[in-house]
């Protein structure tokens, strides 16, 4: 482009008097610096894309996404967990002044301030400097946000009950359960149903009792003595004969 000499300018010196159509030069005018879009460039793009695609395919085959059982909105014992990138917001809601009666603070006010500040940042911090050290406020707040996010994410992972999470999401094979049987009635009467569910599917921290792999004797023992830490002892209140029936009922719940 010619600038200055030999050009006529209108009032604004950045606009030449004669308008030239804005046609880009042909790539052949930049030898060695460019290449044809078709097929050279596209072929390279495609190759890189294919490598990533195959990589992801291998990854999904080697590590399938961990599926859980079908969501049950009536199961209030289920503790949901957001994806990793929302864990910091999730953790925030566990603190005293950000949860319960103060839910609004944790759910709206604190995140709102943080994200609102991000939106306003270009208007608040209008200094001409680009070096981080010359912009202490912007840099400081960014580091603070970064530290808070990392800390909260870390805390939520460290304090989560991963064992219970694995139990509650377990996929349990469906079994035909005879709800008119004596075993099921004993299961109901002794309150096992409150924790282990109406189809013995488990729930909350209580594991499913289908396919437990336990023997009759072991189940009878647990029904009376509980199972530490989460199942209390003394739940079963019937006779020995009834205990035998209950244990037999549970031991025979097999999915195949």
Binding site for ligand HEC (CB under 6 A): 190-192, 194-196, 205-207, 209, 212, 214, 219, 222-223, 227, 229-232, 235-236, 246
Cβ 73 to ligand HEC, closest distance in Å?
Answer: 21
Nearer to ligand HEC (CB atom), residue 98 or residue 219: 219
Cβ 238 to ligand HEC, closest distance in Å?
Answer: 9
Nearer to ligand HEC (CB atom), residue 13 or residue 194: 194
Nearer to ligand HEC (CB atom), residue 138 or residue 235: 235
| 193 alpha carbon, distance to own chain's centre | 30
Rg (CA), the chain: 33
In terms of Cα–Cα distance, which of 123, 124, 121, 90 is closest to 107? 90
Cβ 172 to ligand HEC, closest distance in Å?
Answer: 11
- The answer to whether 35 and 41 are in contact (CB under 8 A) is yes
Nearer to ligand HEC (CB atom), residue 78 or residue 95: 78
Nearer to ligand HEC (CB atom), residue 99 or residue 190: 190
Structure tokens that stand for 98 in this block = 């950000």
Cα gap 181→249, rounded to integer Å? 9
Cβ 182 to ligand HEC, closest distance in Å?
Answer: 14
Cα gap 193→190, rounded to integer Å? 8
Cβ 60 to ligand HEC, closest distance in Å?
Answer: 30
Place of tokens 């199961």: 75
In terms of Cα–Cα distance, which of 5, 139, 163 is closest to 79? 163
Place of tokens 């097999």: 254
Cβ 162 to ligand HEC, closest distance in Å?
Answer: 14
- The answer to whether 242 and 215 are in contact (CB under 8 A) is no
Nearer to ligand HEC (CB atom), residue 142 or residue 231: 231
List of residues 6+ apart from 246 with CB closer than 8 A: 183, 186, 187, 190, 192, 219, 220, 223, 236, 238
Cβ 177 to ligand HEC, closest distance in Å?
Answer: 14
Nearer to ligand HEC (CB atom), residue 106 or residue 207: 207
| 116 alpha carbon, distance to own chain's centre | 24
């Amino acid at each position: 482009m010619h600038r200055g000499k030999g050009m006529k300018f209108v009032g604004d010196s950045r606009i030449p008097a004669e308008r030239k159509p804005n046609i880009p030069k042909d790539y052949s005018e930049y030898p060695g610096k460019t290449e044809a879009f078709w097929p050279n460039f596209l072929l390279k793009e495609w190759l890189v894309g294919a490598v990533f695609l195959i990589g992801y395919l291998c990854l999904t085959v080697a590590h399938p996404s961990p599926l859980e059982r079908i969501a049950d909105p009536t199961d209030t014992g289920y503790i949901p967990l957001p994806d990793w990138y929302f864990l910091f917001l999730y953790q925030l809601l566990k603190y005293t002044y950000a949860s319960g009666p103060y839910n609004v603070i944790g759910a709206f006010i604190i995140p709102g301030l943080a994200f609102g500040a991000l939106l306003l940042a270009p208007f608040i911090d209008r200094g001409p400097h680009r070096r981080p050290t010359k912009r202490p406020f912007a840099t400081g707040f960014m580091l603070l946000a970064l530290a808070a996010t990392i800390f909260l994410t870390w805390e939520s992972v460290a304090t989560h009950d991963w064992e219970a999470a694995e139990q509650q999401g377990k996929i349990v094979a469906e079994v035909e359960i005879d709800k008119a049987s004596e075993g099921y009635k004993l299961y109901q009467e002794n309150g096992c149903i409150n924790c282990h569910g109406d189809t013995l599917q488990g729930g909350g921290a209580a594991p499913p009792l289908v396919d437990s792999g336990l023997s009759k004797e072991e189940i009878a023992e647990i029904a009376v003595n509980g199972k530490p830490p989460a199942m209390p002892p003394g739940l079963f209140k019937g006779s020995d004969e009834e205990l035998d029936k209950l244990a037999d009922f549970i031991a025979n719940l097999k999915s195949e």
